[in-house]
Amino acid sequence: MTQRTRPPRITAGLIRGLVSGLALTCLPLVLAAQTPALPVQITADTAEMDERRGIGTYTGDVVVTRGDMTLWADRIVIHAPERRPTRMEAEGNPVRAEAPDPDNQPRVATALEMEYDLQDEILLLRREARVQTATEDARGERIRYDLAQDIIRIEGTPEERVRITIQPGSE
Protein backbone atom coordinates (compact mmCIF):
# COMPACT_ATOMS: atom_id res chain seq x y z
CA MET A 1 0.00 0.00 0.00
CA THR A 2 1.45 3.32 -1.06
CA GLN A 3 1.39 6.03 1.56
CA ARG A 4 0.28 9.33 0.14
CA THR A 5 2.07 12.39 1.39
CA ARG A 6 0.06 15.32 2.54
CA PRO A 7 0.09 18.19 0.01
CA PRO A 8 1.85 21.38 1.09
CA ARG A 9 -0.29 23.99 2.80
CA ILE A 10 -1.24 27.03 0.82
CA THR A 11 0.01 30.18 2.53
CA ALA A 12 -2.15 33.21 3.28
CA GLY A 13 -0.14 35.32 0.83
CA LEU A 14 -0.68 32.82 -1.96
CA ILE A 15 -4.39 32.68 -1.23
CA ARG A 16 -4.62 36.50 -1.22
CA GLY A 17 -2.86 36.61 -4.60
CA LEU A 18 -5.06 33.93 -6.10
CA VAL A 19 -8.20 35.43 -4.63
CA SER A 20 -7.37 38.85 -6.03
CA GLY A 21 -6.71 37.35 -9.45
CA LEU A 22 -9.79 35.17 -9.37
CA ALA A 23 -11.96 37.93 -7.94
CA LEU A 24 -11.25 40.08 -10.94
CA THR A 25 -11.88 37.15 -13.27
CA CYS A 26 -15.22 36.50 -11.60
CA LEU A 27 -16.16 40.12 -10.93
CA PRO A 28 -17.92 40.61 -14.28
CA LEU A 29 -20.10 37.58 -13.50
CA VAL A 30 -21.02 39.08 -10.12
CA LEU A 31 -21.79 42.41 -11.75
CA ALA A 32 -23.96 40.60 -14.28
CA ALA A 33 -26.13 39.40 -11.40
CA GLN A 34 -26.15 42.74 -9.56
CA THR A 35 -26.38 45.27 -12.41
CA PRO A 36 -29.66 44.92 -14.29
CA ALA A 37 -28.85 47.85 -16.61
CA LEU A 38 -26.13 45.89 -18.44
CA PRO A 39 -27.58 43.71 -21.19
CA VAL A 40 -26.57 40.08 -21.61
CA GLN A 41 -25.88 39.22 -25.23
CA ILE A 42 -26.04 35.57 -26.24
CA THR A 43 -25.24 34.09 -29.62
CA ALA A 44 -25.56 30.39 -30.41
CA ASP A 45 -26.45 28.00 -33.20
CA THR A 46 -29.67 27.03 -31.38
CA ALA A 47 -31.67 28.32 -28.43
CA GLU A 48 -34.53 26.78 -26.51
CA MET A 49 -36.43 28.68 -23.82
CA ASP A 50 -38.72 26.93 -21.37
CA GLU A 51 -40.64 29.91 -20.00
CA ARG A 52 -42.62 27.89 -17.45
CA ARG A 53 -39.50 26.41 -15.85
CA GLY A 54 -37.38 29.54 -16.42
CA ILE A 55 -34.60 27.69 -18.25
CA GLY A 56 -32.81 28.74 -21.42
CA THR A 57 -30.55 26.25 -23.21
CA TYR A 58 -28.09 27.51 -25.80
CA THR A 59 -25.97 25.18 -27.94
CA GLY A 60 -23.37 25.39 -30.67
CA ASP A 61 -20.53 27.92 -30.44
CA VAL A 62 -22.24 29.81 -27.61
CA VAL A 63 -20.89 33.25 -26.73
CA VAL A 64 -22.24 35.19 -23.74
CA THR A 65 -21.12 38.79 -23.34
CA ARG A 66 -21.91 41.26 -20.58
CA GLY A 67 -19.81 44.36 -20.10
CA ASP A 68 -16.14 43.35 -20.40
CA MET A 69 -16.80 39.67 -19.67
CA THR A 70 -17.08 37.09 -22.43
CA LEU A 71 -17.83 33.39 -22.00
CA TRP A 72 -17.41 30.81 -24.76
CA ALA A 73 -18.90 27.31 -24.52
CA ASP A 74 -20.40 24.48 -26.54
CA ARG A 75 -23.54 24.52 -24.39
CA ILE A 76 -24.90 26.87 -21.72
CA VAL A 77 -28.00 26.45 -19.58
CA ILE A 78 -29.25 29.57 -17.78
CA HIS A 79 -31.73 29.13 -14.93
CA ALA A 80 -33.84 32.28 -14.65
CA PRO A 81 -37.07 31.75 -12.75
CA GLU A 82 -39.27 34.86 -13.01
CA ARG A 83 -36.72 36.20 -15.54
CA ARG A 84 -34.04 36.59 -12.85
CA PRO A 85 -30.86 34.61 -13.57
CA THR A 86 -29.91 32.46 -10.59
CA ARG A 87 -27.50 29.92 -12.07
CA MET A 88 -25.53 29.31 -15.22
CA GLU A 89 -24.07 25.95 -16.28
CA ALA A 90 -21.61 25.72 -19.16
CA GLU A 91 -19.91 22.82 -20.94
CA GLY A 92 -17.21 22.96 -23.57
CA ASN A 93 -13.90 21.75 -24.83
CA PRO A 94 -13.06 23.87 -22.86
CA VAL A 95 -15.41 26.52 -21.54
CA ARG A 96 -13.53 29.83 -21.47
CA ALA A 97 -14.39 32.96 -19.47
CA GLU A 98 -12.31 36.06 -20.07
CA ALA A 99 -12.29 39.56 -18.60
CA PRO A 100 -9.51 42.15 -18.70
CA ASP A 101 -7.88 43.36 -15.49
CA PRO A 102 -7.61 47.09 -14.65
CA ASP A 103 -4.37 47.26 -16.70
CA ASN A 104 -6.22 45.68 -19.64
CA GLN A 105 -4.24 42.44 -19.25
CA PRO A 106 -6.14 39.24 -20.03
CA ARG A 107 -7.60 37.18 -17.22
CA VAL A 108 -8.86 33.73 -18.22
CA ALA A 109 -10.69 30.86 -16.51
CA THR A 110 -11.06 27.55 -18.36
CA ALA A 111 -12.56 24.15 -17.55
CA LEU A 112 -14.55 21.47 -19.27
CA GLU A 113 -17.49 22.43 -17.02
CA MET A 114 -18.30 25.71 -15.25
CA GLU A 115 -21.15 26.58 -12.97
CA TYR A 116 -21.94 29.96 -11.51
CA ASP A 117 -24.46 30.28 -8.69
CA LEU A 118 -25.47 33.94 -8.74
CA GLN A 119 -27.47 33.76 -5.49
CA ASP A 120 -24.68 32.29 -3.34
CA GLU A 121 -21.92 33.94 -5.43
CA ILE A 122 -20.02 30.70 -6.03
CA LEU A 123 -18.08 29.91 -9.20
CA LEU A 124 -17.26 26.25 -9.73
CA LEU A 125 -14.79 25.07 -12.36
CA ARG A 126 -14.68 21.29 -12.90
CA ARG A 127 -12.53 18.95 -14.95
CA GLU A 128 -9.21 20.44 -16.05
CA ALA A 129 -9.89 23.69 -14.18
CA ARG A 130 -7.44 26.55 -14.69
CA VAL A 131 -7.31 30.24 -13.82
CA GLN A 132 -4.64 32.44 -15.40
CA THR A 133 -3.80 36.06 -14.65
CA ALA A 134 -0.77 38.15 -15.51
CA THR A 135 0.88 36.98 -12.26
CA GLU A 136 -0.66 33.59 -11.39
CA ASP A 137 -1.57 30.32 -13.03
CA ALA A 138 -3.62 27.88 -10.90
CA ARG A 139 -4.65 24.40 -12.06
CA GLY A 140 -6.58 21.58 -10.53
CA GLU A 141 -9.35 19.12 -11.25
CA ARG A 142 -11.80 21.39 -9.46
CA ILE A 143 -11.67 25.04 -8.41
CA ARG A 144 -14.38 26.41 -6.11
CA TYR A 145 -14.40 30.12 -5.47
CA ASP A 146 -16.78 31.60 -2.91
CA LEU A 147 -16.98 35.24 -3.95
CA ALA A 148 -18.97 36.33 -0.89
CA GLN A 149 -16.42 34.89 1.55
CA ASP A 150 -13.29 35.40 -0.63
CA ILE A 151 -12.39 31.73 -0.23
CA ILE A 152 -10.83 29.65 -2.98
CA ARG A 153 -10.37 25.91 -2.89
CA ILE A 154 -8.36 24.11 -5.54
CA GLU A 155 -8.59 20.32 -5.60
CA GLY A 156 -6.49 17.80 -7.44
CA THR A 157 -6.80 14.06 -7.88
CA PRO A 158 -4.44 11.25 -6.86
CA GLU A 159 -3.15 11.26 -10.45
CA GLU A 160 -2.99 15.04 -10.92
CA ARG A 161 -2.09 17.27 -7.99
CA VAL A 162 -2.85 20.99 -7.71
CA ARG A 163 -0.33 23.17 -9.56
CA ILE A 164 0.18 26.88 -8.90
CA THR A 165 2.72 29.16 -10.52
CA ILE A 166 3.31 32.67 -9.16
CA GLN A 167 5.30 35.06 -11.31
CA PRO A 168 7.74 37.32 -9.44
CA GLY A 169 6.57 40.92 -9.09
CA SER A 170 8.25 43.69 -11.03
CA GLU A 171 10.71 45.84 -9.10
Q: Please indicate, yes or no, whether the overall pTM of this predicted structure exceeds 0.85.
A: no
160 pLDDT exceeds 80?
yes
Q: What is the pLDDT of residue 135?
A: 83
Q: What is the pLDDT of residue 147?
A: 61
Cα gap 112→128, rounded to integer Å: 6
Give a yes or no: residue 144 inside a domain. yes
For residue 96, what are the domain limits?
Answer: 12-166
Give a yes or no: residue 1 inside a domain. no
Query: pLDDT tier at 129 (50, 70, 90 boundaries)?
Result: very high
Instruction: Name the percent of the chain in helix, strand, coil, to the closest 5.
Output: 15, 50, 35
Percent of the chain whose predicted confidence (pLDDT) is above 90: 37
Give a yes or no: residue 20 inside a domain. yes
**Is pLDDT larger for residue 61 or for residue 71?**
61
- What CA–CA distances, in Å, run from 116 to 65, 126, 134? 15, 11, 23
Instruction: Determine contact, residues 88/77, Cβ cutoff 8 Å.
Output: yes
Q: What is the pLDDT of residue 67?
A: 75
Q: What is the pLDDT of residue 28?
A: 41
Q: Number of folded domains in the chain?
A: 1
60 pLDDT exceeds 90?
yes
Could you tell me the CATH number of the domain that includes residue 138?
2.60.450.10
pLDDT tens, position by position, 10-41:
444 444 444 444 433 444 444 444 444 467 78
Give a yes or no: residue 59 inside a domain. yes
Give a yes or no: residue 3 inside a domain. no
C-alpha 50: how far from chain center = 25
Give a yes or no: residue 5 inside a domain. no
Give a yes or no: residue 64 inside a domain. yes
Q: Which residues of 112-142 are buried (b: 16+ CB within 10 A; e: fewer)?
A: bbbbbbbeebbbbbbebbbbbbebbbbbbbb
Give a yes or no: residue 136 inside a domain. yes
